[in-house]
Every structure is written in C-alpha cells, then in structure tokens.
Structure 1
Amino acid sequence: MTFYQAAKPFVQKKLNAYSNALSEGRAKDAFRHLEDAHVIGQHSTKLHCVAHFYMLKHGLKHGDVKECLGQILRFIGAFTKTAFGLIPNGNTGGANISPFKPLPISQSNQIILDKIKHAQSQS
C-alpha cells in the first residue's frame, strides 16, 4: 500500500471536519482541520497539494490576501518538492508559518501517522 492510499482516508476525514466546522461558522476551528490534513498528507504530492488548495480556497472565502499569496507559493512548492522529500515535517502549512520550518507533530496526528505507517508495512 502506498502512503497516498493509506493516508487518503485520514486526510478526507479532516477535510470533512473542515467543511462541517465551516458550515457551523467556526472558521478558526475549520482551518485547524486543514492544518491537520496538511501534516498528515504532506508526504504525498497529491494530498499535500490538496491541503494547500483547500487552504487557498479558505483564504479566498475569507478575503485573506496574505493566506492566498502564501498558499499559491506553498502549492507550487508542494507540487515541485514533495516527491523529493523536501518538506518540513510537522509544518502546518498556513501562511502564518514559514514554509521551511519543521514543527512538532501533535499527539493526535502522530497516532494517525503511525497508523498509516502500520498500514503500509502490512501490504
């Protein structure tokens, strides 16, 4: 099983949680779900780009110019650098954080990443 295959359901769950929180008017909570999706999916070019695409859409929806510009640059970086492993582990992906800065991974996201590794090792 590839990383993409193992991680996709977890990233999708975070994207669904994002949509739910957004529909309930909880924009800050919603964005945190996108940050989690980014941390979980950043080792797959496709999932990494999806996370940045959702962050860009979030910035557009909320008129956040800094977020939009940051996400355009991050999307390009995700598309061109993920396959080479040039990612800062744990980085949450928002424009409020340097795109080069590794960050500690939350316990809940680490549990998910461990499940993904386990699923990969079982195939």
Structure 2
Amino acid sequence: MNFTQAIRFSVLRELAQARRARRLAFSAQEFTHLENAHVLGQESTYWHTYTHWRMLVWGWQHKVYPEVAGQVLRIVGALSKTAIGLLPTGNTGGANVSPFKPMPLSSECAQAIAQAKSRCAKG
C-alpha cells in the first residue's frame, strides 16, 4: 500500500465535510476542511494536487481571485515538487500563506498521517 491509498479515507472525510459546508453556505468552514485535506494529503502528488484544485474552484466560486491565482501556482508546485519531497510540513495550502512556510500539525492530522505511514510500512 502506498501513501496515496493509505491516507485516502482521511482526505475524503475532509472533502466530504467541505462539500457539506458548501451546501450549507458556510464558505469559511468549507475552506478550513479543504486546508485540512491539503495537510493530510500533502505527501501524495494526487491528493496534494487535487486539494489545490478544489481550493482554486472555491476561490473562483467565491470570486476570491488572489486565491485563484495562488492556487494556479500551487498546482504547478504540487505536480512538480511533491514527488521529490519539497514540502513544508503542515502548510495549509491557501494563498494567504507562503507556499514554503512549515506550520504545526494539528494532533488529528498528525495522528492520521502517522497511521497512514504505519499502514504503508506494513505493506
């Protein structure tokens, strides 16, 4: 099992919560769940890129054009830098933070990531 598969459930849970928040018109809460999904999936090129795409869509839907522009750059970075490990751990992925700034992990995210990595190690 690779990390993309191992972290899948945790990322999908956050994305489902983001969709729920969108349906309820809680845009800030929606973005927070997208940030959590980003932190969880950051070590997977697939999930890393996908969460930046969802953030870009969020920016477009809410007419937050600095977010859209920032996400275009971050998508390029996710596609080109994730596989070689150039990741600032814990970075929430929004255009409001430097794409190079490491940030502390929440205990929930740290636990989910550690469990996913443990599943990878077991094969």
Q: Which TM bucket (shorter chain)?
A: over 0.9
**Alignment deviations for residues 66-91 of structure 1 (CA, whole Å, 9 cap, x no partner):** 10000000000000110000111100
Deviations 1:7-37 (A, max 9, x none): 1111111111100011111111110100000
Matches for 1:46-61 after TM superposition, within 5 Å: 46-61=46-61
Structure 1 CA distance, aligned partners of 2:55 and 2:25?
16
Offset of residue 117 of structure 1: 1.4
Structure 1 Cα separation of the partners of residues 29 and 114 of structure 2: 24
Q: Partner residue of 2:93?
A: 93
The CA distance in 1 between the partners of 2:121 and 2:26, in whole Å, is 37
Match of 1:115?
A: 115
Query: Aligned partners of 2:4, 2:28: CA distance in 1, in Å?
Result: 27
TM-score, with length taken from structure 2: 0.97
Aligned to 1:12: 12
For 1:119 and 1:30, the matched residues in 2 are separated by 29
Percent of aligned pairs with the same amino acid: 42
**CA offset at residue 114 of structure 1?**
1.4
Can you give the 5+ residue segments of structure 2 that lack an aligned partner in the other structure?
none
Tell me how far apart the structure 1 counterparts of residues 119 and 20 of structure 2 sit (CA, whole Å). 27
Shift of residue 122, structure 1, vs aligned partner: 2.0
| Paired residue type of 2:65 | V
Distance across 2 between alignment mates of 1:40 and 1:102: 14
Query: 5+ residue gaps in structure 1?
Result: none
Aligned residue-pair number: 123
